[in-house]
Amino acid sequence: MAFVNHVTKNLAIKIVYYGPGLSGKTTNLRYIYLKLDSSSRGDLVCIETDMDRTFFFDLLPIRAGLIGDFMVHFQLMTVPGQIFYEASRKNVLRGADGIVFVADSQIPLLDANLESLDNLRRNLLELDRDIYAIPLVFQYNKRDLDNLIPVETFNRLLNPKNLPYVEASAINGVGVFETLKGIAKMTVPLVKEQVLGQKAATGMDKAQAAEAAEKPPREGEKKVEVEFLPSEREVDVRLRKYRLRTPEDIDRELERLSREFLEKPKKTKPS
């Protein structure tokens, strides 16, 4: 569930980028970071293992307009792709409001995609959550390469429920913001329901909910807009690194970082 600070009137929606190792999860976050104005996002954060080579997650709060009196932020996180960091993936998934599954489009990695999606499903079940009861967008990444898995095959094997998907080349920025906006449109109505008590549409699957988010608001209803401010110049990556040892340490640090941005006073809505 989203973090809410009623004093500063800040609200954070947690989005987790999941997928096999080297599929492009961190590449998505780095591209978003570089293309957003510094007033719209915090530092990029990395938690490393003792092996000093694996990202546990990246935390990127993005200002995203208002829900009622609350300023909304999106906290974007990645999970480690390596299968032996199981506990870390569960910690990152805990409390997620939405998930982006980043699939590697190269044919030799089809089994890795299937294994990672099954791992996501099992980890959510252990957290008492159903993969089809949480907003989910698929990103079919690395479409700029050769020897690709057809989109039809991806949809048949990974996405039989016909959920939203985006073809992407994250390293070139193609499809990155389309993916982010897609998951934002699915999560905002649910968080709005939690915070304001305004009922989101029921009786629809997630694909229908995403389609409904595109429609204009009904008379008297204010549509929630998700805003991302582009940077007017090139920026340097400000990377904050932490070295932790145990899953418990990671869990505590994850919650601390998730709340840290919400302690700041609310800024005015960007024009």
DSSP per-residue string spanning 213-262: HHSPPPTT-PPPPP--PBPSS-----EEEEE--SHHHHHHHHHHHHHHGG
Which tops the pLDDT comparison, 114 or 240? Answer: 114
**Distances, alpha carbon 72 to alpha carbons 188, 233, 251, 261, 265, in Å:** 9, 24, 23, 11, 13
253 or 20: which leads in pLDDT: 20
CATH number, residue 121: 3.40.50.300
pLDDT at residue 92 in the model:
84
Mean pLDDT of 27-49: 84
- Counting the structural domains of the chain, the total is 1
Within-domain flag for 124: yes
Residue 235's pLDDT is what? 65
| Residue 58 identity (one-letter amino acid) | D
Tell me the pTM: 0.85
Residue at 235 is within a domain: yes
Query: Is there a domain that residue 49 lies in?
Result: yes
Whether 66 maps to a domain, the answer reads yes
* pLDDT score, position 206: 52
Task: Establish if 266 belongs to a structural domain.
Answer: no
- For residue 156, how far is the Cα from the chain centroid? 23
Is pLDDT of 218 > 60? Answer: no
Asked whether residue 164 is domain-assigned, the answer is: yes
The lowest-confidence range among 74-78, 208-212, 243-247 is 208-212
Q: What percentage of the chain exceeds 70 in pLDDT? A: 77
As a whole number, mean pLDDT of residues 170-183 equals 96
222 in a domain, yes or no? yes
221-240 pLDDT tens trace: 455 567 676 776 666 667 77
Q: What is the mean pLDDT of residues 180-188?
A: 94
Contact (CB, 8 A) for 88 and 79: yes
∠ CA 32-24-159, nearest 5°, is 105
Closest CA to 110 of 77, 150, 67, 59: 150
**Predicted confidence band of residue 258 (pLDDT cuts 50, 70, 90):** confident
What residues have CB less than 8 Å from 158, skipping those under 6 apart? 101, 103, 113, 114, 117, 138
Provide the residue range defining the domain that includes 23. Answer: 3-252
- Specify if 237 maps to a domain: yes
